[in-house]
Homo-oligomer: A and B are copies of this chain.
């Protein structure tokens, strides 16, 4: 592994708000497992979440979307801010460059490095198959890791993952966001697996299907799923118009 881009601390400081960053926890589902995208900043130190400082001309959402784009190649993704992590000692630049003892990451003496960094936690839902994990501007490489096999990460990033999962579960309970983990066209059994994997409990098939259809926000397509050795399930697609119409009628999507 090699840095795909030379990291220039002076440039970084000049263009960013060094004291506030973002850390999106990017979820996907593959092989019946919930996975999180984990970044390798440098192979000699602990892995971390994708993330970065907020650039001087961006707001927090812009920064989170940019980091997402950098680490997955994707834009226009479900992304939600859930909490700020603000412990005074949660982060220090010195931790990183002390471990590395390398000029590349060591801030020049004449730059005023903050002794404290805040980060805004986001969680994102992406379709596993559309992602080609890459490194961000700083990260060397990213990889999918099972949610229950996440190693010890840098700083408070393990806490951020835990809280992101809590936030995801809460959000899934109140908003129909599960489809974001699937391709555009999906079947009801596939959607059910998403719910079961995230909530970590089995659901009754017939009742799940009935509830989803009653919400009236998924449109049934003409085609059915191909290549299955049993009855071919219908394909559905999330319909934003129907969703917003239902919202206006005062509908709620509590699970």
CA distance A19 to B74 in the complex (A): 30
Task: List residues 36-73 of chain A with CB under 8 A from any CB of chain B.
Answer: 54, 56-61
User: B174–A86 contact, CB under 8 A?
Assistant: no
Residues of B contacting A58 with CB < 8 Å?
Answer: 88
Q: A86 touches which one: B19, B59, B114, B116 (CB < 8 A)?
A: B59
User: B59–A87 contact, CB under 8 A?
Assistant: yes
CB distance from A124 to the nearest CB of B (A): 16
Residues of B contacting A86 with CB < 8 Å?
Answer: 20, 54, 59-61, 120
User: A20–B118 contact, CB under 8 A?
Assistant: yes
Residues of B contacting A174 with CB < 8 Å?
Answer: 174
CB distance from A254 to the nearest CB of B (A): 5
CA distance A56 to B116 in the complex (A): 8
Q: A120 touches which one: B19, B84, B114, B173 (CB < 8 A)?
A: B84
User: A88–B254 contact, CB under 8 A?
Assistant: no
Interface string of A79-100 (1 = CB under 8 A from B): 0010110111000000000000
Interface residues on A, range: 20 to 34
User: A84–B60 contact, CB under 8 A?
Assistant: yes
Interface string of A162-195 (1 = CB under 8 A from B): 0000000000011000000000000000000000
CA distance A252 to B252 in the complex (A): 14
Interface string of A10-22 (1 = CB under 8 A from B): 0000000101100
Interface string of A211-255 (1 = CB under 8 A from B): 000000000000000000000000000000000000000001010
A112 within 8 A of B: yes
User: B120–A57 contact, CB under 8 A?
Assistant: no
Residue in chain B with minimal CB distance to A115? B56
Residues of B contacting A88 with CB < 8 Å?
Answer: 56-59
CB distance from A253 to the nearest CB of B (A): 11
CB distance from A159 to the nearest CB of B (A): 12
Interface string of A99-143 (1 = CB under 8 A from B): 000000000000010101010100000000000000000000000
CB distance from A51 to the nearest CB of B (A): 15
CA distance A59 to B58 in the complex (A): 24
20 more CB-based (< 8 A) A-B contacts, given A20-B20, A20-B86, A84-B84 = A17-B19, A17-B114, A17-B116, A17-B118, A19-B19, A19-B20, A20-B118, A56-B88, A57-B88, A59-B87, A59-B88, A60-B84, A60-B118, A61-B86, A81-B83, A81-B84, A84-B120, A86-B120, A174-B174, A252-B254
